[in-house]
Amino acid sequence: MPDTIQPYVDLSSSKKVFVINEGNYGSANSSISLFDPENSAVIENFYQSQNIESPIIGDVAQSLSKINGKFYLVVNNSGKIIVCDNQLKKINQITNLPSPRYVLPITNQKAYVSNYNGNIISIIDLNSNTVMGSIPCSGWTEKMALIYNKAYITNMRRNYTYIINTLTDIKIDSIEVGINSGSIVIDKNDKIWVLSSGDNVNSKLARLSRINSVTNEIEFFFQFETNDSPNSLNLNKTKDTLFYINDGIFKMPINSNHLPISPFINSVNKNFYSIDVNPNTGHIFAIDAMDYVQKSNIYIYDAFGNQKLVFKAGIISNGFYFE
Amino acid sequence: MYVFLFMVISFNDYYSQDTISLKTIDVITLKENISQIGKKIEPIDSIIKQQFKFNSVADLLNLNSSIFIKNYGPGGLSSSAFRGGNASQTAILWNGLNIQNAMLGQCDLTLIPNLLFENIQIEYGGSSSLWGSGAVGGSIHLNNNLEFNKGLHINTNIGSGSFGLFNFASDVLLSKKRFATSIKFYRTSSENNFPFNDPIDKTSVLKVQKNADYNFNGLMQEFKILINPKQIFTINTWLNYNQRNLPSYYESNQKKRQQLDISSRIIANWVYFKSKISCSIKAAIFNDFINYNDSSSEIFSKSKSQTIFIENENFYNWKRHHNFYFGINMSNNQALIKNYESKKYLNKASFLIGNKFSFLNGKLISNVSARVEYFSVGTLPVTGGAAFEYRLFKPITIIFNAAKVYRQPTLNELYWMPGGNNNLKAEQGYTFEGGANYKKQLKDFLFQFNGAIYSREIENWILWIPSQNGSSSAINIQKVWSRGSETTLKLNYQKNKIKLGSSIMTSYVLSTIQSSQQENNNTLNKQLIYTPRYLLNANLSVGLHNIYFIFYHQYFGYRYTTSDNSQWLNPYQVSSCRFNYTFDVKKINLSLYGSCNNLFNQNYYVLAGRPMPLRSYEFGITIKSI
């Protein structure tokens, strides 16, 4: 049985977990839940409570990042990024973004923003909180990773991961990784892993690719079975083990020469929507978005796959920010 | 499928005659009559229908029934929530055939104009044994009723209204002794750029709805031939071409999304009737084409679906007031969209048998029916129903019915990729209803009351729930219990040229999830989303000679927007009024009409994120040949 949630969150804790709840498309019911792992306590609608004068986030909160001590809350369907202080109080807002998804800090002054549509990567000025430019990049760009002055941009609608030189803001290369690639991580050996979910409608198999971050070449890839549709690729705390969802949650050492056959955590009576790994504890946070129109369940598992806790967050939780 | 019968005033009279007086005939459906036994029925009377002639069925039902209409705003999708059911659990029957889209399992009531139908009726409660899959929460009957020997009539309507609304409709009726035809054409368009208050940005001035314009066009033609006094042949054709832009309220960057709905529907019906026997053979073909474009998201979806029906039904009056019936129905659904692996088919064959009884000199009427069905994907339950109606004493009738009801999965639920599930079972369950009708005429006053209570449990309720890669899967996941009550109270006064009327309709629905397969589910015993517990529709009408005025007031209770009932929309009340002034100029009848919607300028939302217009107006003129 899971532990009982205690109704106390230590706001001064440095290990808090923010849960991003995107809400229902078109309903503007996004929210942020604040979870305190040390007290196993949660505050719902934390953003609303911190911004009583203007409590509405907008439509589809997509991601939350912390850059230069400020939070950047990306609101996809509202086409904006809300800039907040470290208490999540709104201090500014970046608009004129087509359909923002994720923020990748490049320097202290600038960051890249991927977009669902618009066929661009937006460049934002982190000092003035304005859009300072864009880089043409066709398709639905999703999660990004930065290494050696190169930004690797995954793409849900194209077969490629694009590479942008962050010094010149010019797209310099593309790597064929398969369709529907939305997650990307960099392991302890600076190898880049991209997970493509494939396209069952058009019989395109999912694949997990490892990219050499120096040569930008695919070193190898693992192909999934027909009807598999993996997603949500993550690394453990020591960056030597991969986790992903493929119905259940799978675990794979980075030096494995094959894909795992059976799940590390079964999904019996659960429907995992997204996972993330808490870098402080190594615990796996798994989201069950239920029927999309009720509060999500957040399951916490230890590194061995034992369920430690379950708590409720907002409508359609889609990710976390771990302090 | 229903049988067209020529009747002299009433059903019973029909069976007492061997020959039929063609001059006084009236066409009704025998199967509809049977299905209404022991049920709460809401016929839309001719005056009301006239008032809503140029509106959609969604508007008509919203104001004149106790059905909750889920409306996405003017020109947007409208679907029905009947007794706590969803849109797929309502049968929309055009001349007895279900016109729900085979892929979606529902049809958009906004795209169905009232002027196409001579008769509209609402049948509350499930009747799967008579009407097949989908008749779970209730049925909406849209019937044509072309009469012989009426001569030549031409009607034309031109109307306009707020936010660029334009209406044009025309119909021509040519009715001879043995042949009748009618053609109806309509066009409705609107800029639909109405102002609204933004609940998020409360400091702002009024915002204007963008990218919500629409343009609906349609044509219906009917041919009816009296082959001889015992046979009638009818062909009904209905074509639709509807274009609309789809607004997105919260988006900062308004995206252009368009939807094109094209449909063609043809029914051919041959009816044979004699003193004790009647039978019909009906063939129909329904085509739907939906093209959805969202260029900014690179979504270009085109779907084609087709349903073919062949049906035979036979009625035998084996004893006075006792009627035995049986029939077969075969249908083929096929659809193609890029999200299916290939063209997908559903084949269905069913056999219906039943009997209507009448005892105690017609005081007790009952109907018992059963349906067995073959379904090409999975199995369907054997369904049946029994209904009773007992006239306790003259003004009071008691009704009761019990039935097994079901809904088969739609093509999308079975085959959509990703997420379709061809192992889905039919949603099925039992429904019970009891009630009473009271009708009393006192001099110039007519008092009517009907009330019903019901209970329905549905198992294997299908939901789309999250699965891999953020997509969804269709799963038989929960059991839902819907129960509640409905009342209708009407008081009318008529003397000379004065007509006064009032009616109050109420609905109480408790529709809760009884069990679910999901772990840590917080929805047990919670009300279904967008199912208001309380609904009230009231109106007050005044008719003076040739002027008619009606005032509506509606109340809709809380609508939960999440299945764990953690979020909701507040109740709202909204009022509207309509007037009609009719006069003759030589051989032309003119009718001026107008309406004011949202009379008191209320800010309200039927569904989250879908603003409704503030006060708006509509007016026009109808020119009719006498």
Nearest Cβ partner for A271 among B249, B296, B465: B465
**Contact with chain A for residue B609, Cβ under 8 A:** yes
Q: Residue A59: its pLDDT value, please?
A: 87
Contact A58 B200 (CB under 8 A): yes
Of the CATH numbers 1.10.10.10, 2.40.170.20, 2.130.10.10, 1.20.20.10, which one belongs to the domain with range A139-264? 2.130.10.10
Buried b (16+ CB within 10 A) or exposed e, B395-427: eebebbbbbbbbbbbbbbbbbbbbbbbeebbbb
ipTM of the complex: 0.83
Q: Which residues, including other chains, have CB under 8 Å from residue B151's CB and lie 6 or more apart? A: B174, B175
Cross-strand partners of B352:
B327, B371
d(CA B418, CA B58): 32
Cα first-last separation, chain A: 27
Least confident of B51-65, B146-160, B296-310: B296-310
Burial of A25 (0-12, 13-18, 19+ CB in 10 A): middle
What pLDDT does A53 receive?
86
Note the pLDDT of residue B19.
35
Q: How do residues B365-402 score in pLDDT, each as one tens digit?
A: 999 999 998 888 877 778 999 999 999 888 899 999 99
User: Nearest CB to B470: which of A24, A231, A288?
Assistant: A231
DSSP secondary structure code for residue B232 in this structure? E
Query: What is chain B's alpha carbon radius of gyration, rounded to the nearest angstrom?
Result: 24
Please state, in angstroms and rounded to a whole number, the distance separating the CA atoms of residues B52 and B55.
Answer: 5
Integer Cα distance of B10 and B25 in angstroms: 10
More confident: A190 or B21: A190
Where does residue B142 rank: exposed (0-12), middle (13-18), buried (19+ CB within 10 A)?
A: buried
pLDDT band at A199 (very low <50, low <70, confident <90, very high): confident
Q: Looking at B43-47, B96-100, B113-117, which range is the least confident one?
A: B43-47
Record the pTM.
0.88
pLDDT at A25 over 50: yes
* pLDDT band at residue B3 under the 50/70/90 scheme: very low
Q: Which helix (H) or strand (E) holds B15?
A: helix B11-15
Q: What confidence score (pLDDT) does residue B29 get?
A: 64
**CA distance linking residue B623 with residue B602, whole number of Å:** 34
The b/e string for B499-509 (b: 16+ C-beta within 10 A; e otherwise) is bbbbbbbbbbb
The 10s digit of each residue's pLDDT in B101-120 is 999 999 999 999 999 999 99
So what's the pLDDT on residue A4?
47
Tell me the per-residue pLDDT of A202-243, one tens digit each, with 9 for 90 and over.
789 999 999 999 999 999 999 999 989 899 999 999 999 999
Residue B619 host element (H or E): strand B616-625
Residue type, B264: S
**B463–A contact, CB cutoff 8 A:** yes
Quote the CA–CA distance of B603 and B609 in Å, as a whole number. 12
The arithmetic mean of pLDDT across residues B351-362, rounded, is 92
Average pLDDT over residues A305-323: 95
Strand partners, A32: A20
pLDDT at res. B570: 94
Comparing B136-145, B335-344, B400-409, the range with the smallest average pLDDT is B335-344
Q: Can you give the pLDDT at residue B608?
A: 86
Residue A315, token pair as written in the block: 């409508």
Taking CA atoms, A292 is separated from A26, A30, A72, A273, A296, in Å, by: 13, 12, 25, 10, 8
pLDDT tens digits, one per residue of A137-176: 999 999 999 999 999 999 998 999 999 999 999 999 999 9
pLDDT classification of B249: cutoffs 50, 70, 90: low
**Mean pLDDT, residues B406-428 taken together:** 90
Q: Is B115 helix (H, G, I), strand (E, B) or coil?
A: helix
Nearest by CB to residue A117, choosing from B200, B296, B417, is B296
pLDDT value, residue B248: 75
Query: For residues B454 and B365, what is the distance between their CA atoms, to the nearest angstrom?
Result: 20
Instruction: Give me the domains of chain B, ranges plus CATH numbers.
Output: 30-189+218-254+266-295+306-625 (2.40.170.20)
Q: For residue B435, is pLDDT > 90?
A: yes
Write out the residue limits of the CATH 2.130.10.10 domain(s) in chain A: 139-264
Region label for B611, one of left (φ > 0), alpha (ψ between -120 and 50) or beta (otherwise): beta
In this prediction, residues B277-294 reach a mean pLDDT of: 94
Report strand pairing: B547-556 vs A31-36. unpaired
pLDDT tens-digit series, residues A253-301: 999 999 999 999 998 888 899 999 999 999 999 999 888 889 999 999 9
Size of interface A-B (CB pairs under 8 A): 135
Q: How confident is the model over B25-38, as pLDDT tens digits? A: 333 467 888 888 99
Please judge whether A269 and B338 are an interchain contact, meaning their C-beta atoms are less than 8 angstroms apart: no
Residues of B in contact with A118 (CB under 8 A): 296
- Tell me the mean pLDDT in the region B411-430: 90
From A249's Cα to the closest Cα of chain B, the distance in A is: 11
Quick one: tokens of B534?
């309380």
| DSSP notation for B558-596 | -EESSTTS--EE--EEEEEEEEEEEEEETTEEEEEEEEE
pLDDT at B482 over 50: yes
Residues of A in contact with B466 (CB under 8 A): 271-273, 288-290, 292
Label residue B336 exposed, middle or buried (CB < 10 Å: 0-12, 13-18, 19+). Answer: middle
Q: B418 and chain A: CB distance < 8 Å anywhere?
A: yes
**What would the mean pLDDT of B440-455 be, rounded to a whole number?**
95
B336 reaches A (C-beta below 8 A): no
pLDDT digits (tens, 9 = 90+) for B213-235: 999 999 999 999 999 989 999 99
> What pLDDT, in 10s, does the model give residues B528-555?
999 999 999 999 999 999 999 999 999 9
| pLDDT tens per residue across span A85-112 | 999 999 999 998 988 999 999 999 999 9
CA distance A151 to chain B (A): 23
Sorted by sequence, the CB contacts under 8 Å of residue B442 that are 6+ apart come out as none
Interatomic CA distance for residues A247 and A227, integer angstroms = 11
- Chain A residues lying within 8 Å of B464, measured CB to CB: 291-292
**Measured distance CA(B521)–CA(B479) in Å, rounded:** 13
